[in-house]
Amino acid sequence: MAENDLAGEAVTFEDFHSVCRFLYYGYVTGDHIELPICLEPPNRDGRLAERGMSLKELVCEGVSRLSGVYRALLDSHASASMHVIPISGGMDSRAILGGLLPYVDSSRMQAVTFGVPGTWDFDIGPMVAKEAGVAHTQIDLSGVPWDTESLVRFAGECERPIALFEPYLFHQMRVRFGRECVYWSGWMSGVLSGAHLPAYSSSSWDQAVSRFVSCNRFARSIHLSPWTSGQRIVFQILRYAIVTP
């Protein structure tokens, strides 16, 4: 295997590929990983709306299913002394907070908002937490250190090949509250509406791979990766993609 000398250190051809993949995607792609099992099997009875359920019945069904999920998760974390809930300006985080209130005493709940002062996601959170009677903390991200040592340390703590930069900001909650707390977070709107799906289905696996490569480029305003050839990037995806056919 060919080696080049980069910054005084021997770098293998594979190391060079890893750097290129990181610069292109924002994370290092790796082998297949096992995802956690679903708490509840997918509904096999067809879409509920097609079974003649009214809007009220659909809402009640949704509340019932979410309540079951909350109870199952709380049972699996029964020993937790504190539950940390990130609160933004949106509805998803409020739904999580509201869903926990019937089961967890407010003295064991800590709401947190992180962002930049003057933005809705930063300023609305305290009002929501106050209305719910839950303690609240704000984390001003404008003071977060962006240095190589901090980023490398965070990457070393990750158990999965996730994107580095945005999760590093989320990580500031764990820096503040520690590892022993249970962190509640969820994002449903885009996934439920299919926002992550392409407008048109791919006619072949190669086309699907090319679309994935195009849509998941981390930086679009600048070429960070020295390896931007579509053919070579596709080769890397086929070889190292987390999700394989």
CA dist 4 and 219 (Å) reads 26
Per-residue model confidence as pLDDT tens digits over 140-152: 998 888 898 998 8
Comparing 85 with 197, which gets the higher pLDDT?
85
Say how many C-beta atoms besides its own lie within 10 A of residue 233's C-beta. Answer: 22
63, exposed or middle or buried, with CB in 10 Å at 0-12, 13-18, 19+? Answer: exposed
Per-residue model confidence as pLDDT tens digits over 94-123: 889 999 999 999 999 999 998 899 998 899
Is-above-0.75 flag for pTM? Answer: no
Pairing of strands 182-183, 9-12: unpaired
Q: State how far the alpha carbon of 218 is from the alpha carbons of 20, 125, 141, 235, in Å.
A: 12, 28, 21, 18
C-alpha gyration radius of the chain: 22
Structural domain spans, the chain: 49-79, 82-197
Q: What are the DSSP E strand ranges found in the chain? A: 3-6, 9-12, 83-86, 109-115, 135-140, 182-183
Per-residue model confidence as pLDDT tens digits over 227-238: 554 445 544 544
